[in-house]
Amino acid sequence: MDILIALLVLSFLIFFHELGHFLFARLFGVTVEVFSIGFGTTIFSRKVGDTDYRLSLIPLGGYVRMKGQDDLNPKLTSSDSDSYNSKHPIQRILILFGGPLFNFILAVFLFMAVGNIGFQTLAPTIGEVKESMAGEIGGIKSGDRVLQIDGDEVKTWKELAEKIVSSEKSLQFLVERNGSQIALLINPQIHEAQNIFGEKIEKRMVGIAPNGETVLYKLDLLNSISYGFEKTLESANLIFQSVEKLIIGVLSLDQLGGVVSIFEFTAKASETGLVSLFLLVALLSVNLGVLNLLPIPALDGGHIIFTLYELITGRVANEDIMYKLTMVGWAILISLMAIGLYNDIRRLVE
């Protein structure tokens, strides 16, 4: 059942991505010859109009093959009016961007659903108070529940942390202690810490930690829409940063995961509940959108770069160069998939 859920999730994400390409292609009058979920041997095929809809054996990808365009044969072109090549560069860029765009749209709706359903998150209740740091000096005690900071209501630990990190002055805390409300003046100080990538950074801290208590965080429709967009942008930014850290060597290739990791995380999320599954699928959707925008020739981002070159210079990129770069792009993708799979297998056997 876990494998089935993971396959359905992966196939759904691929379908949604390819649907974006398909709809933008049809919008601009491009004939779509094949719409396939998966690669390899065709399991199911049905032709409707000019399009052959396929379900293929290997559910680790998918593709839309438009008239005059084929990733496996970059030299294929067509001058027909309904071909991909005959369209204006801006239209082609929109067709290419359609896939990642639909992934981001899907993520927004999933995050909106999570916000509207509600989810458990850390409450702003103090656990540990570190000695000689701003919290202890200002009078914070273990067990205090933070109600307000500078007059703004605090509902979660994340909100509390964001207030502290972004502060540039002393903060007025209102805490609840033993049934009474107490006002405290806390002056966050800059200390050395580590970010999520393990890099040393400096940030404002008060020296407190949560006690582990959770609270249901639920949003109304309007706020859930805002939450959906914010979480999608936040996730995309995090993935872009992760790719950057991987390129410059801050993150090791040992930390790269593959399809086995996706299956494992999806299975665990589905066991935890609908909200956890929605969150994971939203993150995977953003990940798929961001990675497809990377300037690797075999991906949407690489094709966008070629098309931008044509738009700016008025000349089509050299066919042989495009072909060679696309082959290099496929080599990079296959290598990264192989490394991810190797890391997955290594983690399983260790």
- pLDDT one-digit tens code per residue, 94-150: 999 999 999 999 999 999 999 999 988 999 999 999 999 999 999 999 999 999 999
For the stretch 36-79, pLDDT in tens is: 887 778 888 999 988 999 988 876 667 888 998 876 666 677 78
Measure the CA–CA gap between 176 and 134, rounded to whole angstroms. Answer: 18
Query: What is d(CA 178, CA 144) in angstroms, rounded to the nearest whole number?
Result: 8
pLDDT digits (tens, 9 = 90+) for 241-286: 887 777 776 666 666 665 555 555 566 655 667 888 888 889 889 9
Half-sphere exposure of 72 (CA within 13 A, CB side): 6
Apex 111 CA angle, 233 and 99, nearest 5: 60
Beta strands in 2-106 (DSSP E): 32-48, 51-66
What CA dihedral angle connects 30, 36, 38 and 42, to 10 degrees? -140
The answer to whether 20 touches 99, Cβ cutoff 8 Å, is: yes
- Write the single-letter amino acid at 168: E
Residue 35 in contact with residue 43, Cβ under 8 Å? Answer: no
d(CA 167, CA 228): 25
Residues designated as active site:
18
Per the CB < 8 A criterion, the answer to whether 347 and 313 are in contact is no
* Structure token digits, residue 79: 């001058």
What pLDDT score does 25 carry?
Answer: 95
The CA distance from 44 to 51, in Å, is: 14
Quote the pLDDT of residue 256.
63
First to last CA, the chain: 25
Decide which of 3.40.50.720, 1.10.3720.10, 2.30.42.10, 3.10.20.30 is the CATH code for 120-217: 2.30.42.10
- pLDDT of res. 162: 92
Sequence-distant (6+) residues with CB within 8 A of 286 are 103, 104, 107, 232, 235, 236, 239
Question: pLDDT band at residue 168, thresholds of 50, 70 and 90?
Answer: confident
Domain residues of the chain, as ranges? 2-118+254-349, 120-217
CA-to-CA distance for 84 and 72, rounded, in angstroms? 15
Mean of pLDDT over the chain: 85
Token pair listed for 156: 């979660």
Residue 309 has pLDDT above 70, yes or no: yes
What pTM was estimated for this model as a whole?
0.81
Residue 211 predicted with pLDDT over 90: yes
